[in-house]
Structure 1
Amino acid sequence: MTIKRSIRTPIQNRIVEVGNLAFVGGVIADDTTQSMGPQTQNILGKIEGYLGEVGLNRKAIVAAQIFVTDLSQKKEMDAAWTGFFGEDMPTRATVGVADLGGGAMIEVVVTAARS
């Protein structure tokens, strides 16, 4: 089976494709001084851009793991999430964590599939 790695950073490849699956590594917001809603919007836009570089879009996302530092702001994150995906929401798990570093309140990992 062929493994294709794309969008190299100093610590990872943003996307690793295996078969019909594309795995997007953890993404945080560019501006971590904002609240969780705007951080979520920024992250989802970045993910869609990464997927676009390998010929996919948000509708290809089938699963997500979300790590948040403040579960009291989850409703704000949920609003950004549902606004972005509409009816095409993937499965997801949201996990509270102590710290993501650098002021990040949320980090998102997704898996997308080619049809």
Structure 2
Amino acid sequence: MSHITRIETDPRRSRAVVYNGMVFVGGMTADDRSLDITGQTRQTLEKIEAYLAKAGTDKSRVLTAQIWIKDLDRDFAAMNEVWNAWTAPDAAPTRATAQCEMGAPDILVEIIVTAAVED
């Protein structure tokens, strides 16, 4: 049986879970919710990078991403500019993007990723 490592766990969730050579990073949002979509996306991706590092991997090993945006019509292009600059060269993951009602009115973007962990 493979070992499960949980990173920053509280009674409700773990921020990331490592299992069987994969890391599952839970939904990340910006800490500073006064920022626009560009700022929130940058801050969210910085948090994701930090959790990937804690799991022993990096953004070049991201396999898939789910991106939830509060307002696709208004913010999709700006979010994509930040995303495209962040994604490792020649290592774009699969991705789904959808509009949804967020958990709080000032959250503009939430991102979930799964990545391979170095063997």
TM-score (norm 1): 0.92
User: 4+ residue stretches of structure 1 with deviation over 4 A?
Assistant: none
Partner of 1:78: 80
* Equivalent-residue separation in structure 1 for 2:117 and 2:55 (angstroms): 10
Contact 1:27 1:108 in 2 (8 A): yes
Q: Does residue 1:91 correspond to 2:94, yes or no? A: yes
User: How well do the aligned residues superpose, as a CA RMSD in angstroms?
Assistant: 1.4
Structure 2 spans left out of the alignment, 5+ residues: none
Taking the TM superposition and a 5 Å limit, the aligned residue runs for 1:7-18 are 7-9=8-10, 11-18=12-19
Instruction: State which drifts further: 73-82 or 32-41.
Output: 32-41
Over the matched positions of the two proteins, sequence identity in percent amounts to 33
Per the alignment, in what secondary structure is the counterpart of residue 107 of structure 2? coil
Q: Report how far residue 86 of structure 1 moved.
A: 4.4
Structure 1 spans left out of the alignment, 5+ residues: none
* Equivalent-residue separation in structure 1 for 2:36 and 2:92 (angstroms): 22
Q: Does residue 1:67 correspond to 2:68, yes or no? A: yes
User: What amino acid is the match of 2:98?
Assistant: V
In the TM superposition, what whole-angstrom CA distance separates every residue of 1:15-55 from its partner, at most 9, and x where no partner exists? 11110111000000011111111111100111001111121
In the TM superposition, what whole-angstrom CA distance separates every residue of 1:35-83 from its partner, at most 9, and x where no partner exists? 1111111001110011111211111111000111110210000000000
